[in-house]
Amino acid sequence: MICPACGTDSGNAAAPLCARCGAPMPAPPPAGPPAGWAPPPPGWAPPPAAPATEPRTSYLSTPPSDAWAPVQPDPSAGPGAGRRRVSRRALTASVGAVIVIAAGAVTAVVLTSANSGSGGADTPQAAVTGAVQAAVRQDIDGALSFVDPAERRTLSALVSAARGKVSRGGLLAATGVPAPWVSVRASGVAAKVVAQHRSVAFVTLDAGTFEATIDENKMPAGARPTHPVVEHRTATVQGQNLHTRYGHVDTSSSIAVVQVNGRWYLSPTTTALEQIRRSAGLPEPDFDAPAQLGPGARSPSDIYAGLAAALAAHDLRALAGFVSQSELPELAAYYPVFASQLTGSLQQASISVSDITTSTQQMSNGLVRVQLDSATVHGPSGDVTYSGDCVSGTAVGARRCEPADFSRLTGWKSPFVVVGQDNGGWRIQPIATVMEYLREAEASGSANALYRRMGLFRAVPASATLHVGPGQRVTLNDGGFANVTVQAAPNACLTGSSGGARMIWYGAQGDNGCYLVPASGRIEATVISGRGDVSSTVTVDIGQR
């Protein structure tokens, strides 16, 4: 059945939503989000221990390659399309802008709120609605003032240059709020408490109407689509459902709100722990009887050795004690719930770590960056030694080293964790660690390489216009890809090939594996180097069937 919104053959006449763009098919919409729209798995959360069998890509859990990343078709493409949906490029730019705005605004929030005792709300419901209303007003400082001070404290490590860079590109105004091409209004926003304990409550949005306008004509030239439009969107929260013109989505997932010094604040980490617990079908934690966790490390340089000792002793409680309870305020309450699932696996582990060497670097807010310089892991399959960004040993065979492009593109040189003093011991600060990897990537790495690893190709504007014919040269960026616009007759069905690259098309697919050009006479595509080459030039042949 052909989707009326994007012109794509869904391949399933009974499907209520288009499998490509998510728009409703001529059938009642489903109760949940469209298939294939589950968020990607975490890209690169670095575990603190040494690598087991691979170079850095293994222990940093490198962001997934573009092989898995879902690339959505251009919603405006395809014959018979209805009113044009907002471009994916605009949506990607919007999301990216909001993330950078929030991160860049943290420094001001930390200085004005984290240490002054201000912020938060008198009730859990007010904390949620206050944060929502502030975000709608584009008052990022105000929105972040409703976040748990301990959890937002370390976000100041994220480089403020990120906001400045995007501001210079025109996506943000000089003040750091979105430029006038994005506006949002909200009315009737209400929240309700679904569960409350001594120091934590769970809240859901219960009502509210949200209206958004995206005026692509006002976007900067580098991000403005070829055919800009003005889009108006409305979403309504009723009970536990978010209603849009594409159907409705279950919003029963709750937001965790914690009490700090008599005030209520949103807790992102507790919210994440609760979602993991519910997804796994585990019992509810006892927030009034938290577990006693391990003491952490005696000094920053002891963090890896302490982790190794706890792992060798199969001591899960000691391992959990190396994680900050300031950044994860309810970790001790959730520990018994998750421990019951992890103890068996830990007991079966037969791994020890020796010859650990580290180096430390002082950071702001009393934090310390601890870099792993070398270590040897002993396991059932043999030994693995990490040193100088290379691994060797009986378990891996020949010595293997990290590709040079990895450090250059990501900015990551050696694995590290960020630690801070917490309840008398030194513990890993997970938020600070993630933010430091982000800061390093932004300061020293390639944004295009990260876009490729995350599958966000269309965050980059088109760099070339192609036509039907052979031998057209396309220069790839330092991420090894380039977005192009192909001009051809409306309804023409195109193919693309290249000896050194592959193509992803954004449009409706025809019967013979080709892609249909919409009425505008333009269709967009991404050219990606199949060999991972960067800053190279490839030859592309565009055929027509």
Render pLDDT for 339-382 as a digit per residue (tens, 0 to 9): 888 877 776 778 889 999 999 999 888 899 999 999 999 988 88
Residue bearing the bigger pLDDT, 93 or 326: 326
pLDDT band of residue 436 (cuts 50, 70, 90) is: confident
Q: Say if residues 398 and 447 touch (Cβ distance below 8 Å).
A: no
- Whether the pLDDT of residue 458 is over 90: the answer is no
CATH topology of domain 462-544: Jelly Rolls (2.60.120)
Listed in sequence order, the residues at least 6 apart from 471 whose beta carbon sits closer than 8 Å to its beta carbon are 539, 541
Mean pLDDT of 80-100: 37
The runs of H, that is alpha helices, within 402-519 are: 404-410, 430-444, 447-454
- Hey, which of 43-47, 118-122, 383-387 has the most confident mean pLDDT? 383-387
Query: What is the SS3 assignment for 298?
Result: coil
What mean pLDDT is predicted for residues 91-117? 35
pLDDT of residue 174: 45
Q: What is the pLDDT of residues 15-50, one digit of tens each?
A: 445 544 444 454 443 333 333 333 333 333 333 333
Where residue 507 falls among pLDDT bands split at 50, 70, 90? confident
Cβ pair 370, 48 in contact under 8 A: no
Confidence of residue 8 (pLDDT cuts 50, 70, 90): very low
Cβ contact 375:355 at 8 Å: yes
| pLDDT at residue number 124 | 95
- Predicted pLDDT at 404: 65
- The pLDDT value given to residue 80: 35
Q: Long-range contact list for 280-288, CB < 8 A, 24+ apart?
A: 280/341, 282/337, 282/338, 282/340, 282/341, 283/337, 284/337, 285/330, 285/333, 285/334, 285/336, 285/337, 286/333, 286/336, 287/197, 287/198, 287/199, 287/200, 287/330, 287/333, 288/197, 288/198
Segment 418-423 mean pLDDT? 91
Tell me how far apart the alpha carbons of residues 182 and 159 are, in angstroms, rounded to a whole number: 24
State the average pLDDT over residues 288-304: 94
Q: What pTM does this model have?
A: 0.60
Q: What is the pLDDT of residue 138?
A: 75
According to the per-residue pLDDT averaged within each range, which of 34-43, 155-164, 207-216, 436-445 is highest? 207-216
Distance in angstroms (rounded) separating the CA atoms of residues 391 and 53 = 7
Cβ pair 73, 508 in contact under 8 A: yes
What is residue 10's predicted lDDT score, i.e. its pLDDT? Answer: 43
Mean pLDDT calculated for residue range 5-24: 46
Nearest to 76 by CA among 466, 516, 489: 516
Element (H, E) at 426: strand 425-428
What are 240-281's pLDDT values in tens digits? Answer: 777 777 677 776 678 999 999 999 999 999 999 999 998 889
Length of the chain: 545
Rounded distance between C-alpha atoms, residue 303 and residue 82, angstroms: 58
Q: Is 418 left (phi over 0), alpha (psi -120 to 50) or beta?
A: beta
Are 517 and 494 a contacting pair, CB within 8 Å? Answer: yes
> Percent of the chain beyond pLDDT 70?
68
Give me the sign of the Cα torsion angle 62, 67, 69, 75: positive
Going by their DSSP bridges, the two strands 382-387 and 368-379 should be labelled as antiparallel
Q: How far apart are CA 419 and CA 429, in angstroms?
A: 5
426, 296 contact by CB (below 8 A): yes
* More confidently predicted of 75 and 489: 489
- Is the pLDDT assigned to residue 102 strictly greater than 50? no
pLDDT value at position 406? Answer: 67
Q: Which helix (H) or strand (E) holds 88?
A: helix 88-109
Spatial CA neighbour of 411 closest among 461, 453, 383, 376: 453
* Mean pLDDT across 392-420: 80
Indicate if the pLDDT at residue 482 is higher than 60: yes
Residue pair 236/495 in contact (Cβ under 8 Å)? The answer is: no
Across 393-416, average pLDDT: 78
What's the average model confidence in pLDDT over 168-177?
49
What is residue 35's DSSP assignment? T
- pLDDT of 157 > 90? The answer is no
Residue 136: predicted pLDDT: 85
SS3 485: strand
User: Across residues 488-517, what is the average pLDDT?
Assistant: 88
Mean local confidence (pLDDT), 320-330 = 93
Query: Among 69-73, 149-153, 422-426, where is mean pLDDT lowest?
Result: 69-73
Per the model's pLDDT, the better-predicted residue between 249 and 498 turns out to be 498
**Residues 345, 447: contact at Cβ < 8 Å?**
no
Q: Quick one: average pLDDT of 296-317?
A: 94
Please tell me the distance from the alpha carbon of residue 509 to that of residue 496, in angstroms, as a whole number: 13
Residue 522 has pLDDT above 80, yes or no: yes
Task: Return mean pLDDT, the chain.
Answer: 74
Specify burial of residue 308 (Cβ count, 10 A radius: 0-12, 13-18, 19+).
Answer: buried
Please write the tens of the pLDDT for every residue from 174-228.
444 555 677 888 888 889 999 999 889 999 988 889 888 888 887 766 567 767 8
